[in-house]
A = this chain, B = another copy of it.
Amino acid sequence: MATKQKDTRTARVTVKDLARDLGMSVSTVSRAFYPDAIVAEKTRDAVLKRAAELGYRPNPFAQSLITKKTQIVGMVVSDLTNPFYPEVMTHLTAKLQEAGMNVMLAAANEPEKTDEAVDLLLSYQPDLVIVLAVTLSSHAQEKCENAGAPCIFFNRLSANGLGFGVSCDNEEGGRRVADFLIDSGHKNLVYVSAFPGASTNVERQNGFCRRAVERGLEAPQIIEAGYFTYEAGYSAGLKMADIPGPIDGVFCANDIVAIGFIEGVQEGLGLSVPEDLSVVGFDNITMAGWPSHRLTTIAQPLEEMMQATVELSRELARERSLAPRINRLAPGELVQRKTTMPRSPAKETPHAEC
């Protein structure tokens, strides 16, 4: 009883079984599954047909032992508090699966453990790694690359500037926000910065601040939220109390920060958005369109970014030693909702205390 339990599961069918069934050699059967391999068309059809009937699938472990390709894509995620990522994650996964690749996750609750998680991931020899986390130590990145798994950074660049990247033109996005606010009469701007080490944050800030100065405004003041989270945005909102001078326009590093910021400013400081100040985000997450937020924001070209990532993954799965490249997509449109309003140029700045 304890030694041998009845095992109801159907034993997996192997090449051998299939070969015997078809009266062919194992080699021939195997070749049928590789489009580039030389087999008689008739033979291939017969094999594929019977394989489907018997539910045969090549064992990917045995396969990769030889081919050194695993069809596994590693995906490094950190905190998924930002609703931008879950969506990306599932859609990317679905698309990758359609392309025959499988996604293996590396997640860590504490940032320091990310490296460990990546180690474990690497023992499965992913063909490549997609980084959806805000942070990945360059050490971990090197490990991946040494293990033969190039890294694709989604929505940001790697810390060392190496590796593959897919993101939108965040500087241009920042400039668009500046133009939009200035065109609608805003004069005193603030940028709410999130994670300072993230290229995304830096680029948006640069585009925004430089354009403001180019157009003759004072350089926007900076509030450091520190992270890409609701809570960080909320605290940043409270910090508005310390900002000298009247402020009429705020650009937050992304939507979730903007949403937190607005609630902080309303709850904590009793200000009204957009009456007292306009707030703009970045990403256009679904929630930004909800009646409770109606956030004015820059859309990300998400579909294109994911598409580009999948294409790149296919290439890398085939040929690991591609030269790293950065894929920059045009940012999406500015979606105007209810957290911004025009400032009449004649009107005095309404709230001197903010």
Which A residues form the contact surface with B (CB < 8 A)?
5, 7-10, 12, 57-62, 64-65, 70, 72, 75, 77-81, 83, 85-87, 89-91, 93-95, 97-98, 100, 102-109, 113, 116-117, 119-121, 123-125, 145-148, 230, 259, 263, 266-267, 286, 290-293, 321
CB nearest neighbor in B for A148: B9
Give chain B nearest CB distance to A75 CB in angstroms: 8
Q: How many copies does the complex hold?
A: 2
In the bound complex, what is the Cα–Cα distance between A100 and B108 (angstroms)?
A: 13
The residue in A10, A86, A89 that gathers the most chain B C-beta atoms within 10 A of its C-beta is A86
In the bound complex, what is the Cα–Cα distance between A93 and B94 (angstroms)?
A: 18
CB nearest neighbor in B for A266: B291
A61's contact among B64, B80, B89, B321, by CB below 8 Å, is which? B64
Residues of B within 8 A of A123 (CB): 57-60
In the bound complex, what is the Cα–Cα distance between A89 and B107 (angstroms)?
A: 9
In the bound complex, what is the Cα–Cα distance between A104 and B61 (angstroms)?
A: 14
Assess the A321–B83 pair: CB atoms within 8 A: no
In the bound complex, what is the Cα–Cα distance between A77 and B90 (angstroms)?
A: 8
In the bound complex, what is the Cα–Cα distance between A154 and B124 (angstroms)?
A: 26
Assess the B80–A86 pair: CB atoms within 8 A: yes
In the bound complex, what is the Cα–Cα distance between A116 and B57 (angstroms)?
A: 13
Assess the B102–A103 pair: CB atoms within 8 A: no
In the bound complex, what is the Cα–Cα distance between A61 and B60 (angstroms)?
A: 9
Residues of B within 8 A of A58 (CB): 123
Interface CB pairs A-B, < 8 A, 11? A7-B321, A10-B146, A61-B125, A75-B105, A80-B86, A83-B86, A93-B107, A94-B113, A95-B109, A102-B105, A104-B104
A105's contact among B70, B104, B121, by CB below 8 Å, is which? B104
In the bound complex, what is the Cα–Cα distance between A77 and B75 (angstroms)?
A: 15
Instruction: Give 5 A-B pairs besides A59-B65, A86-B86, A102-B124 with Cβ atoms closer than 8 angstroms.
Output: A8-B146, A93-B107, A94-B109, A97-B117, A104-B105
Give chain B nearest CB distance to A1 CB in angstroms: 12
Give chain B nearest CB distance to A324 CB in angstroms: 13
Beyond A146-B10, A147-B9, A263-B291, whether A104 also contacts B102 by CB under 8 A is: yes
CB nearest neighbor in B for A147: B9
